[in-house]
Amino acid sequence: MVYLKHIFIITLTFIGSVTCAQIRFKTGDEFQRQVITKSNCVLQRGGQTLHVGSVSNIVKTYKVTDATERSASVTIITDKLIDTVNAMDQNLVYNSAKPGDPNSIIHAGLQKILNTRPVVSVNHKGEVLNLKRPVSVDDTLLSFTGIQPERLLPGSTLQFMVDFPVNPTLKKGYTWTDATKAAETSYTIYAVSGRTTTITYKTSVLGGNLNSRINGSILIDNLTGIVLKRYSQSVSTGYEMVNGVVYTATRRTAITEVSVKK
């Protein structure tokens, strides 16, 4: 998803002093992240209309296999993947706990996601330093099944970590805006406590094949920078390609994400 990709790579700079939350990774640490995505898409080409609905539930474990004073090696394991796609009055269901259909290209693609275990080196802010075991991503498969991609690139941040400085001294109601060539996001501090900060945001993503409007909220652990909860709703319009054919598209997506340290 183009719109979500831009959110994940946004880096914010506060004016004045900030506190950069860090977590001291230790060998054997494990973090679990669950993402539930509900998506409805309407594709149109001439008089032809195609409705595609999907619900995905994916659970991942981020396991620290080695840690030093400056960095850590993290293996990303997909523990569970359940995906349901409804298109043209037909249901496709994939459940990682059950044998997949060997004749289904989609099942084979999802099974590949399940079996792949990328390994990355990160610093103690969760920023990716390098990829020790990279992963190829099939954007068409992810778009069709509604699964959110995980972009593991040097400079990006592990998705259970916040990707901007956390400053618990800022007050409720404080707002700021971050803009790149592709996206503009307005942030507001909704609530602050000694332990957590809740931030709401609105993002506009323009210039790609899908233009998106996104509203969301993030609950952050102030000490570690872990994203305890993240929720977003988006509406995207533009075009998508299906089997080599270009369709105009309207997609509505709701994403709920929860992360914990095991």
Task: For 11-69, write each residue's pLDDT tens digit.
Answer: 232 323 334 456 889 999 999 999 999 999 898 888 888 888 999 999 999 999 999 99
The pair of structure tokens assigned to 192 is 């602050």
Please give the pLDDT value at position 145: 79
Extents of the domains making up the chain: 16-21+31-261
For the segment 168-191, what is each residue's pLDDT rounded down to a tens digit? 677 899 999 988 888 899 999 999
Question: Average of pLDDT values for 194-207?
Answer: 91
Alpha carbons within 13 A on the beta-carbon side of 177: 6
pLDDT of 73 reads: 96
Helix (H/G/I), strand (E/B), else coil: 92: strand
Q: Which CATH class is domain 16-21+31-261?
A: mainly beta
Summarize the confidence of residues 213-239 as an average pLDDT: 93
What's the average model confidence in pLDDT over 188-210?
90
Higher pLDDT, 106 or 8: 106
* pLDDT above 90: residue 222: no
For position 59, what pLDDT does the model report? 96
Q: Is 60 exposed, middle or buried (0-12, 13-18, 19+ CB in 10 A)?
A: buried
Beta bridge pairs of residue 197 = 192, 220
At residue 223 the predicted structure's pLDDT band, cuts being 50, 70 and 90, is confident
List residues bridging with 191 in a β-sheet.
198
Whether 5 contacts 149, CB under 8 Å: yes
Helix (H) or strand (E) holding 144: helix 139-145
% pLDDT > 70, the chain:
87
Q: How many CB atoms lie within 10 A of CB 24?
A: 10
Query: Residue 199: how many CB atoms within 10 A of its CB?
Result: 22
What pLDDT is attached to residue 166? 65
Residue 70 has pLDDT above 80, yes or no: yes
Mean local confidence (pLDDT), 71-96: 92
**Encoded tokens for 70:** 């400056």
Check pLDDT > 60 for residue 224: yes
